[in-house]
Chain A
C-alpha cells in the first residue's frame, strides 16, 4: 500500500489544497484526530481548529472554522466553511475580533449568546496561533 493519501480541502470559494499527504491532523468535533494512509472510512464534523498535514516531510498548517471531513483509505476530503493558510490570515482583523469577543464575554450582559461569543473568540485565537506558528518557521 502506498504511504500517502490524496488530501483535498474544499471551501465554498475554492479548492485550497489538493496534494498527496503522508499524515494529517484534523480538528474533529469530538477532538483532534490523526489520519494516516489506510484509514477506515469515516465521516466527522469539524470544530474550529488547526489542520496540520505533512507532504514530503514538510508540515503545513491551516486554520479552519466549521466543516466536515470524509476519510477513505486512499483519500481524505475536508469541506470547510473557511480555511486559510497562515500567510492569508489577516492578523489585525483577527486581533480585533478577539478583543471584541473577550469584551463581550466579560460584559455580563444577560442577553449574551455565550456559545457564539465563545466561538468567535476561538476562531480568532486559532487564526492568530496559526499565523504566529508560521511566522516562527520562517
Chain B
C-alpha cells in the first residue's frame, strides 16, 4: 500500500514546480508582448526604406539597360561556391522545441548544400553550442576578433573596427578550417537587441560578400507574424533578388498539434493571438517617397541608392532578430503553459491516489475494531 506521507510530499513538490512554471509563463507572456511591440515599431522604418529604394530603382540606373544586369555588387547573382548561413536561436532553453526545431532545420539546410563551402554565423547560445560541437571555428583575422568582442560588450556604432577596407582586400583570406566552419558567434545579444548590432553584422557580411569570400548569405530563423502565424524560414539576404521581396528558400510550418497548444497558451495568458493592427502604421509608411511627383534629389540617385542598400540588409537582419525573439518567448510561454497543465493533472491524480490510500487505511482500521469487538463478545 502506498504511503500517505510520501504521496503528500510528492504533491507538495509538484505544486512548487507548478508555481515556477506558472510564473515563467507569465513572464514570457509579458516579454512576448514587449517583443511584439518592438517588432511592430521597426516596421515603419523598414517599409519606408524599402519604398525609397524602390522609387530609386527606376531613376538610379541600377540595371544595365542593354543586358538587364544590375551594376551594384549586392544585386549580382553568382554561382554559389561558399555560402554563409546565419542561424538565429535563443540564448536560453526551456522553450519547448524552439531551439531543436531551428537546429534540425539548419542541419537540413546543410544537407541540401553538400557541394558548397559553408560559413556559419551563430546568434544565440544554443545554436553556438550545437554548431561548436560539430564544426571547427575558422581562424580569425585579428581585426575580426576585435569586432566580435566589440559586439559583445558595446558596439558603439562600430567604432572599434577602424581597419581600412583597402588594406583587407590585399590580404588573402585565411585557409578554411573545414568545409563547414564557424566564422562568427554572438551570445547574449538577444536580451536587448539593437539596430547597431544588426548594422555591424551586416557590414561584416557585405564586406565579405563584395570581396568575393562568400557568394550568398542566408538567414535561418523562426518567423513570427503572430502567435498563430509562425514558421521556420531560411531567407536569402544576399544577393538581393528584388527589393521589397523576401526571398524564402526553405520553410517549415508548425504542426496542427503545436498550433493547438499555442492557442491554449495564448488564451490562458490573455496574449492577443491575431496580428496586431498594423494597417494604420503601414499605410502611413507606404506613402513615403511614393508621391506621384518628381522629387528633387539632393544627391545623385545612384549615390543615394548605394548608400541605402546596405541599410536594407541591416534592417532585414534586425527584423529577423526581433521576430526570432518574439517567437522564442511565445515558444517558452507555450511550453510553460503545457508544463503547468501537466503539473495540475499530476496533482489531481496524486490527490486521488492519496485519498484512496487514506480511505483504505480507515476501512482497514474499522474492520480491525469491528472484528476485535466481535471477538470480545
Residues of A within 8 A of B (CB): 8, 10-15, 28-30, 33, 40-45, 65, 68, 70, 72, 77, 79, 81-82, 93, 97, 100-101, 104, 111-114, 116-117, 120, 123
Contacts and interface: CB of A to CB of B under 8 A. Distances in A.
Nearest to A6: B284
Given A12-B42, A70-B289, A104-B162, 14 more contacts: A10-B44, A10-B45, A12-B45, A14-B41, A42-B297, A68-B307, A70-B295, A77-B48, A79-B52, A93-B156, A112-B162, A113-B161, A113-B163, A117-B159
18 contacts: A12-B315, A13-B195, A14-B41, A15-B41, A29-B298, A33-B298, A42-B296, A43-B298, A44-B297, A79-B52, A79-B288, A81-B195, A111-B163, A113-B163, A116-B162, A117-B159, A120-B157, A120-B162
Contacts of A116: 158-159, 161-162
A11 B297 CA distance: 21
A117 B162 contact: yes
A111 B38 CA distance: 38
A68 B304 contact: yes
A79 B42 CA distance: 12
Contact of A12 (B52, B162, B164, B318): B318
A101 to B, nearest CB: 7
A116 B164 CA distance: 9
Given A13-B195, A81-B199, A72 B298 contact: no
A44 B42 CA distance: 21
Contacts, number: 105
A120 B158 CA distance: 9
Contacts of B153: none
B194 interface: yes
B162 A77 contact: no
Given A12-B42, A13-B42, A79-B48, A45 B304 contact: yes
A93 B198 CA distance: 20
B377 interface: no
Contacts of B259: none
Interface residues of B, number: 42
Interface of B: 38, 41-42, 44-46, 48-49, 52, 156-159, 161-165, 167, 194-196, 198-199, 284, 288-289, 291, 293-299, 303-304, 307-308, 311, 315, 318
A30 B303 CA distance: 12
B167 A111 contact: yes
Nearest to B44: A10
A137 B42 CA distance: 32
Nearest to B303: A45
B164 A113 contact: yes
Contacts of A65: 157
Contacts of A45: 298-299, 303-304, 307
B56 to A, nearest CB: 8
B44 A15 contact: yes
A66 to B, nearest CB: 8
Contacts of B308: 68
B52 A43 contact: yes
Given A43-B52, A68-B308, A111-B167, A13 B41 contact: yes
Nearest to A79: B48
B297 A43 contact: yes
B45 A70 contact: no
Contacts of B163: 111, 113
A117 B159 CA distance: 7
Contacts of A100: 159
Contact of A43 (B46, B49, B161, B289): B289
A83 to B, nearest CB: 11
Contacts of B296: 40-43
B84 to A, nearest CB: 23
Contacts of B45: 10-12, 79
A44 B299 contact: yes
B294 A43 contact: no
A130 B149 CA distance: 30
Contact of A30 (B46, B167, B294, B299): B299
A97 B156 contact: yes
Contacts of A72: 291, 293
Nearest to A72: B291
B295 A42 contact: yes
Contacts of B165: 113
A14 B322 CA distance: 13
